[in-house]
């Protein structure tokens, strides 16, 4: 079989056999035959956690990505299946007790809602500070945190082929409408972009936009290829499909149409970046994933990779070095190592910032310069993306050296600042300024932004 690239040159294509997407959700947990190898207490704990945090997995992930001989320690198993320890002990006990006594669904739902409310469902000021307005109306399907970049949440793309158990966007998937970001109206997106010529980058996110049919994605993106939107030079699509459902780019009914859309975007002079979420090298080992990568690259789109650092899954510099080397070999660009966000199942996944930086340093030392494009470890916190640059001794005090890679105020960018060293701190709000300072330099400006948002 031969595929034609955008240059018109033939290249060999090895297409895996078409597969139908078979999905399991929380109510299907008892029906997944592979789980029978786990003890009953573990299976019950999974059902408890799945009542609070969203669960969705597909047969491809189960069959191709998980080593069932290593379960429950297998990293992709922990990445996709709910685990004991993902809830606070008291919350776990409360939901478990309700399930054991067969409590009415309304009582369980009320308890679950209370637990979710304590899990910081919208971290980093997303709902309060990021949602923009157009002619006085809040656009609930957009976020505009950084001057140059707008995030767009198309309504048809607010689910995924499988859910990651760490996902900071978990409120999108729990069925509570007031927690979701979603927009069905392409006209609102276009009007907002017309009104903001400073925006150069559009990030289509979710959920996963790759669950959408190509015709819906094209309806949002193709109008932006006209001269009226010439200022929008970069289009990014955030997706986990490369590893969780590569058939989206191979044998799904509109896979070829999707790749032709990518080619049209590139031909229109736009920079198209597929922002691939890859958490472990196991995700890139299948023939289907590698062929999907090749097909995307043949359109002229680039693939950049990003992932958070997660205890139990990839908290090992050898894992990151192996993953980055393989990504470079496949023509992908390692982009971000994130710190696990302060939401959802953070207690299960988070690592101290000092440990995160040590893992990053050791991993980056094991790869060549081509893989040292990775920035991190980075916290996507309320004021911006804060990079932990290192631990140092300055003026007789041990400190974290920090800087903004992206910020709500562009004047904060790349300005070094210092926090007192704290061996246990896992997030920005747990750090205190060094050298006796009362607050970090950005805090007055951040308070002013919050006040303006509250008055709007």
Cβ neighbourhood burial of 257 (10 Å; 0-12, 13-18, 19+)? middle
CA 9 to chain centroid: 34
Range of the structural domain that residue 112 is part of: 20-117
**277 vs 160: CA distance, rounded Å:** 12
Q: Is residue 108 part of a domain?
A: yes
Residue 385 lies in a domain: no
Instruction: Give 24: exposed, middle or buried? Use CB within 10 Å, 0-12, 13-18, 19+.
Output: buried
**59 within some domain:** yes
Query: Which residues of the chain carry a pLDDT beneath 70?
Result: 1-16, 176-179, 455-456
As a whole number of angstroms, the distance between CA 243 and CA 289 comes to 6
Among residues 114, 109, 90, the alpha carbon closest in space to that of 99 is found at 109
The number of distinct structural domains making up the chain is 1
The answer to the question of residue 64 being in a domain is: yes
Q: What is the pLDDT of residue 15?
A: 65
pLDDT (tens digit per residue) in 132-146: 999 989 999 999 999
149 lies in some domain: no
What pLDDT is recorded for position 424?
A: 98
Whether 58 maps to a domain, the answer reads: yes
Amino acid 179: pLDDT: 65
Cα–Cα dist 69/411, whole Å? 52
Query: Rounded to an integer, what distance in angstroms lies between the CA atom of residue 416 and that of residue 413?
Result: 9
Residue 181: predicted pLDDT: 83
Examine residue 37 and state whether it is found in any structural domain, yes or no.
Answer: yes
Q: Residue 385: what are its φ and ψ, rounded to 5°?
A: -85, 110
* Residue 158, domain member (yes or no): no
Percentage of the residues of the chain whose pLDDT score is greater than 70: 95
Whether the pTM exceeds 0.85: the reply is: yes
pLDDT score at 175? 73
């Amino acid at each position: 079989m031969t595929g034609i690239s955008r240059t018109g040159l033939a290249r060999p294509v090895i297409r895996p056999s078409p597969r139908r997407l078979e999905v399991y959700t929380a109510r299907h947990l008892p029906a997944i035959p592979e789980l029978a190898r786990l003890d009953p207490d573990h299976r019950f704990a999974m059902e408890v956690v799945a009542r609070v945090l969203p669960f969705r997995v597909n047969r491809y992930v189960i069959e191709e990505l998980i080593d069932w001989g290593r379960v429950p320690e297998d990293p992709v198993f922990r990445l996709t299946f709910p685990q004991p320890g993902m809830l606070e002990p008291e919350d776990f006990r409360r939901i478990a007790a309700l399930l054991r006594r067969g409590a009415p669904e309304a009582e369980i739902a009320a308890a679950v809602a209370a637990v979710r409310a304590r899990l910081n469902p919208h971290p980093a000021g997303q709902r309060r500070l990021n949602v923009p307005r157009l002619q006085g109306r809040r656009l609930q399907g957009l976020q505009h945190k950084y001057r140059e970049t707008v995030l767009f949440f198309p309504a048809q793309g607010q689910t995924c082929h499988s859910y990651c158990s760490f996902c900071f966007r978990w409120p999108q998937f729990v069925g509570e409408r007031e927690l979701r970001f979603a927009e069905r109206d392409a006209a609102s997106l276009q009007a907002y972009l017309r009104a903001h010529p400073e925006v150069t980058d559009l990030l289509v996110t979710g959920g996963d936009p790759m669950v959408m049919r190509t015709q819906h994605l094209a309806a949002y993106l193709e109008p932006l290829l006209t001269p009226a939107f010439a200022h929008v030079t970069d289009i990014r699509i955030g997706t986990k499909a490369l590893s969780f459902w590569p058939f989206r780019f191979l044998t799904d009914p509109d896979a070829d149409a999707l790749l032709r859309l990518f080619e049209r975007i590139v031909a229109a002079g736009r920079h198209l970046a597929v922002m691939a979420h890859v958490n472990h090298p196991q995700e890139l080992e299948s023939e289907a994933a590698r062929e999907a990568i090749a097909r995307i690259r043949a359109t002229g789109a680039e693939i950049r990779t990003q992932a958070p650092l997660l205890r139990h899954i990839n908290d090992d510099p050898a894992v990151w070095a192996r993953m980055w080397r393989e990504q470079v070999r496949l023509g992908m660009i390692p982009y971000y190592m994130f710190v696990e966000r302060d939401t959802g199942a953070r207690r299960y996944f988070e690592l101290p910032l000092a440990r995160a930086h040590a893992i990053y340093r050791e991993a980056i030392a094991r790869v060549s310069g081509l893989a040292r494009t990775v920035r991190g470890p980075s916290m996507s916190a309320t004021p911006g993306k804060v990079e932990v640059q290192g631990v140092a001794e300055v003026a007789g005090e041990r400190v974290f050296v920090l800087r903004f890679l992206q910020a709500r105020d562009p004047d904060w960018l790349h300005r070094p600042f210092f926090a007192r060293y704290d061996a246990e701190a896992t997030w920005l709000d747990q750090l205190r300024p060094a050298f006796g300072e009362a607050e970090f330099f950005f805090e007055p400006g951040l308070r002013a932004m919050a006040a303006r948002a509250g008055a709007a």
